[in-house]
A and B are shown apart, each in its own frame.
Chain A
Amino acid sequence: MTSIILLSIFGIVNLFLGFMKSKRALLPIVMLFLAIALVAALSDWNQLNTFFDSSSFSSMMIMDNYAVAFTAVMILSTLFIVPFTRSYAVGENANLAEFYTLLLFSLVGGIMMVSYENLLILFLGIEIMSVAMYILAGSNKRNVLSNEAAIKYFLMGAFFTGIILFGIALLYGATGSFKLSEIALAANALEPGTEPLLFMGLLIVLIGITFKVGAAPFHFWTPDVYEGTPTVFTSYMSTVVKTAGIAAFYKLLSAGFSGVEQHWYPTVVAITVLTLVIGNLGAVAQTSFKRMLAYSSISHAGYLMIALAAFNDRSQNALLFYSLAYSVATIIAFGVLKYVSDSRRSNEYEAFNGLGKSNPLLAFVLTVSMLSLAGIPLTGGFFGKLFLFSAALEQGMLWLIIVAVLMSAVGIYYYFRVIIAMYLRESEIERIPVSSFTTFTLISLVVLTVLMGIAPGLFIDLL
């Protein structure tokens, strides 16, 4: 809870810091803010309801360990993403402070999405998070693609937010409450005749959240928006926003609707399979690394949804582990992409040709990231997939896992394309200068990925 308040205050303070002459000083300050927020979030671990007890806020939010863990993942991801904004400080970019502020505010929305108890907070969280992202998507003002991304994201996002609100209203009609715990009670003892209302409301909320996490069949906005958005904010979109969405999704189902599984289970399984297939097959066809990452993020939404489809006591932990492993690997991928596309003016695979020779370090960290996303051992991605698949297999969902395994094999194809380009293809290009601070960030991310792949016991069973 403290982390939300702190981040809001920091956001406002940060706006005033924007008046400073030196834009370079902003980054360390923002990182300090994030670090403080991270510590504040972690201090809520095992401290259920001690700071703001439920009566004073009538249980609008619950900071349980589930919420704390996902909050920590999101703040940590942001902490690793902001160092890549360094190049923005040297250009003529006058709005750097505003960007940071928007990131911090959006993070507040994300925390609300993982800790809500009342559906209104879920709605507010989604809105706070999304509005900030609409602006950041269009933050490259003079770029047509960036403008297109912002418009597309905003129009569709606003539409789907409306849909969520509509669904929440129907749920209220069916159960008489916004609170998850009361909804769960009412859903279990439903009065005859209200069942269609509940089912429609839940379905509509599911559709809205599916859009937010970029899962099929409501994924169509992702490739264009991801491509047009400035790379650093794409990175944020595909990690923090996705983590928040999936965590909110799981919380909704587990806290509110675990008793009426038959109503949502077929929908969730269908979405999962569709997302896995569309995400992976779509990624194969891409020639741009950035668009491939967009489709890859769709496919990983599919893997994460396996935890929802399995829906047992392994799900939470698998979800947390996978979100962290996926976020870390994705931040590396976008971080390296930013350097490559800035210096070679291209997001295509060809831009990576010969990177192994010119920038061995960038090539190495990107290789680790790709191996992790592909789920090869020695990286966190392998255990992430293993835990998710185990959760589903425990429910006997063998056919779902067969689909997922086949899709992972497809994944190897497109993730390896960039590795092949970097190491096995030649091109005469100059070394890309990388600051030592970014190098340090990238190496920390790689260490984290490998640590998750070697000692997964440290990260699983936290919840």
Chain B
Amino acid sequence: MLTALLILWPALAALLVLLVKGQGAKKVAFGAALVELALGGYAWYSFDPANTSAQFLLTMPWVASAGILIKVGMDGISLLLVLLTVFLVPLIILASFRNNYERPASFFALILFMQTGLIGVFTALDAFLFYFFWEVALIPIYFIAGMWGGENRIKVTFKFFVYTVLGSLFMLAAFVYLYFQTPGTHSSDLDAFYALNLASDTQSWLFWFLFVAFAIKMPVFPFHTWQPDTYTTSPAAGTMLLSGIMLKMGIYGVLRWLLPVVPLGVNDWATVALVLSIIGIIYGAIIAIRQQDMKRVIAFSSISHVGLIAAGLFTLNEHSMQGVMIQMLSHGINVTGLFFIIDIIERRTGTRDIAALGGITQKAPFLTVAFLVLLLGAVGLPLTNGFIGEFLLLFGVFQYNAWMGAVAGLTIILSAVYMLRMFQRVMFGEKNVITENFTDLTFSEKAVLVPLLIMVFWIGLHPNTFLNLSEPAVLHLLDVIKR
């Protein structure tokens, strides 16, 4: 029941927000997101990590005769992502407080509506329900990016939409095929999919149908071409939603709906997927070094970081799987914070051009500290959250194949290069006309950044809080994969 409440509450709240006139909408939306956070906190509190089956389970027929269910529940893997979502959404709403968008009610209602889709994706245990939420999460972000976005938004967001829908149609086709392979009157229950014993060559092509959908969402090289433009064009809140939470849908999809459903297919193609992911790591990083727009630097760095997570997924050992879990949290937190800081700078100076900025440190010490901590987290310095994830992931990849591990390890050096290059040019150096009147963080901006910074150190210093939550579920998942 709790899961259903977590899914339904943001949608209801979205309807409520739509009724609010003017700029009051954001306060209502923020309040609703805090309620959702409290619900998530309660779920965490009453969750039993030792139990590997789905908890807070709700099962009821959706299309009874066809065996399609409304089945939602959370195991450790789902819970971590739900927690990430309920933690980030209020911060993203708060981060938009200072941008006086036109039609604020629609803007904030769409964010909340998207939260429903995201939580639905992370908790759905029926294939068609999963697909349903997968698309429900897409529609609001399309409108957020399209209606409040920057230049070229029509073209860019349309490309994004068509790309992802095309990918998900492949996924739907695979689901329908799997559905018809289930015995009896058919069922789209996840457990029924796990129980299938399909021939190896069938799994082989099913792998690609599913992989394309998830790879586009993450995105993995070469399915990434929509990403930099969409991140750049979207308003800050949209970029944070896309990079902080939405790309985790793809990773989660692989964990839940690809690896255990077609394990023999994974056997056939894991190396190819790994190579693609590792190409993405290097490719994203090298392009990030050459970017002039701060948003594009982070966008390409995101391709690079996600490449490492994807590589970890396909090595199928415990270290890298736990690394995937912790790195999903870390990446969500760091990238959201970084995009917020870029938005702060853009709001004050009117530009994101690295060459045009400089000397902000002298005017804004708080901002500098926050920027530096998040940036070091993204680079993966010890004591920060990024270190734990990258260490586990690289360790896992190294175990799989030492050469791959070595190439993937370059990410540590390369990410330091592009991140510090950006930081140095934007924050240090001489003040100029643009940055002369830069003011430091306001209260509401601190209110967004402080929780993020706390999380950076929390995960960096005591990752076991979160690793222990997901460990039994991850081990169970690996058992299912290797059955």
Interface positions of A (Cβ within 8 A of B): 356, 360, 371, 376-378, 382-383, 386, 389-390, 393-394, 401-402, 405, 408-409, 412-413, 416, 420, 423-425, 455-457, 460-461
Q: Taking A377-B131, A423-B146 as contacts, is the C-beta distance between A460 and B177 under 8 angstroms?
A: no
Instruction: Report yes or no: A393 in contact with B176, Cβ–Cβ below 8 A.
Output: yes
B176 with A389: CB separation less than 8 A? yes
Task: Give the residues in chain B near A394, CB-CB below 8 Å.
Answer: 180
A456 to B65 Cα, complex, angstroms = 11
Instruction: Beyond A376-B165, A378-B135, A393-B177, list 6 extra A-B contacts (CB 8 Å).
Output: A378-B132, A401-B173, A402-B173, A423-B143, A457-B63, A461-B65
Cα separation A461 to B169 with both chains bound (whole Å)? 25
Q: Across the interface, which residues of B come within 8 angstroms of A416, CB to CB?
A: 158, 161
Complex: how many Å from CA A382 to CA B131?
Answer: 11
B131 A409 Cβ-Cβ under 8 A: no
Please report which residues of chain B, range 115-168, place their CB below 8 angstroms from some CB of chain A when the two chains form the complex.
128, 131-132, 134-136, 139, 143, 146-147, 153-154, 157-158, 161-162, 165-166
Q: Which residues of B contact A409 (CB under 8 A)?
A: 162, 165-166, 169
Q: Which residue of B lies closest to A371 (CB)?
A: B139
Set of chain A residues within 8 Å of B42, measured between Cβ atoms: none
Q: Which residues of B have CB within 8 Å of A356?
A: 147
CB–CB B135/A457 < 8 A: no
For B173, give its contact among A371, A378, A405 (CB under 8 Å). A405
**Cα A221 to Cα B117 with chains together (Å):** 42
Q: CB within 8 A of B65: which of A371, A377, A378, A460?
A: A460
- Known contacts: A378-B139, A394-B180. The answer to whether A420 contacts B154 by CB under 8 A is yes
List, in ascending order, chain A residues with CB within 8 A of B132's CB.
377-378, 382
B169 lies within 8 A of A405 (CB): yes
Contact B64 A457 (CB under 8 A): yes
A412 lies within 8 A of B64 (CB) = no
Complex Cα distance, B135 from A81, in Å, reads 30
Judge whether B158 and A420 touch: CB under 8 Å: yes
For the complex, would chain A's binding face be called helix, strand, loop or mixed by DSSP majority?
A: helix
Instruction: Please tell me if B24 contacts chain A, counting CB pairs below 8 Å.
Output: no
Contact for A408 among B157, B169, B179, B180, CB less than 8 A: B169
* B62 adjacent to A456 (CB under 8 Å): yes
Q: How far in angstroms is the closest Cβ of chain A from B304?
A: 30
- Closest A residue to B146 by CB, please name it: A424
Query: Smallest CB–CB gap between A404 and chain B, Å?
Result: 10
Residues of the B chain whose Cβ atoms lie less than 8 Å from the Cβ of A424 = 146-147, 153-154, 157
Contact residues in B for A456 (Cβ distance below 8 Å): 62-63
Alpha-carbon distance between A405 and B143 when the two chains are bound, in angstroms? 24
Query: For A413, what are the chain B residues with a Cβ–Cβ distance below 8 Å?
Result: 162
29 sampled A-B residue pairs with Cβ under 8 A: A360-B106, A371-B139, A376-B135, A376-B139, A376-B165, A377-B132, A377-B135, A377-B136, A378-B139, A382-B132, A390-B66, A390-B176, A393-B177, A394-B180, A405-B172, A408-B169, A409-B169, A412-B165, A413-B162, A420-B146, A420-B158, A424-B154, A424-B157, A425-B154, A456-B63, A457-B63, A457-B64, A460-B63, A461-B64
Q: Give bound CA distance, A82 to B180, whole Å.
A: 42
Interface residue B451 (Cβ < 8 Å from any Cβ of A): no
Contact assessment for B61 and A378 in the assembled complex, using a CB-CB cutoff below 8 Å: no
Closest residue of B by beta carbon distance from A374: B165
**CB-based contact B154/A393 at 8 Å:** no
Task: Write the B367-380 contact mask toward A (1 if CB under 8 angstroms, else 0).
Answer: 00000000000000
**B-chain residues with CB within 8 Å of residue A401 when the two chains form the complex:** 173
Residue of A nearest to B180 (CB): A393
In the complex, the chain B residue whose C-beta lies closest to that of A396 is B180
**With the chains together, A105 CA to B180 CA distance in Å?**
44
| Residues of the A chain whose Cβ atoms lie less than 8 Å from the Cβ of B65 | 460-461
Q: List the A side residues contacting B165 at CB < 8 Å.
A: 376, 409, 412
Contacts of B177 in A (CB 8 A): 393
Provide the residues of chain A in CB contact with B173, threshold 8 Å: 401-402, 405
Q: Which 5 pairs across A and B sit closest by C-beta, in order of nearness?
A: A377-B135, A377-B132, A461-B65, A457-B63, A424-B154
Beta-carbon contact of B139 and A386 below 8 Å: no
Please give, as numbers and ranges, the residues of chain B lying within 8 Å of A460 by CB-CB distance: 63, 65-66
Min C-beta distance of B169 to chain A, whole Å: 5
| List of A residues within 8 angstroms of B61 by Cβ | 457
Q: Which residues on the A side are within 8 Å of B153 (C-beta)?
A: 424
CB distance from A306 to the nearest CB of B (A): 13
For residue A374, give the distance in angstroms from its CB to the closest CB of chain B: 9
Per the bound structure, the CA–CA distance linking A210 and B166 in Å amounts to 31
B136, A378: Cβ atoms closer than 8 Å? yes
Residues of A within 8 A of B136 (CB): 377-378
Which chain B positions have C-beta within 8 A of A371? 139
Q: Which residue of B lies closest to A409 (CB)?
A: B166
> Nearest chain-B residue to A383 (Cβ)?
B63
A457 neighbours in B (Cβ, 8 Å): 61-64
CB A110 to nearest CB in B, in angstroms, measures 28
Please give, as numbers and ranges, the residues of chain A lying within 8 Å of B62 by CB-CB distance: 455-457
Report the separation of the CA atoms of residues A376 and B147 in the bound assembly, to the nearest whole angstrom. Answer: 20
A460 to B64, CA, bound (A): 9
Chain A nearest CB from B258 CB (Å) reads: 20
A408 CA to B66 CA, complexed, in Å? 23
State the CA gap A413–B157 with chains docked (Å): 12
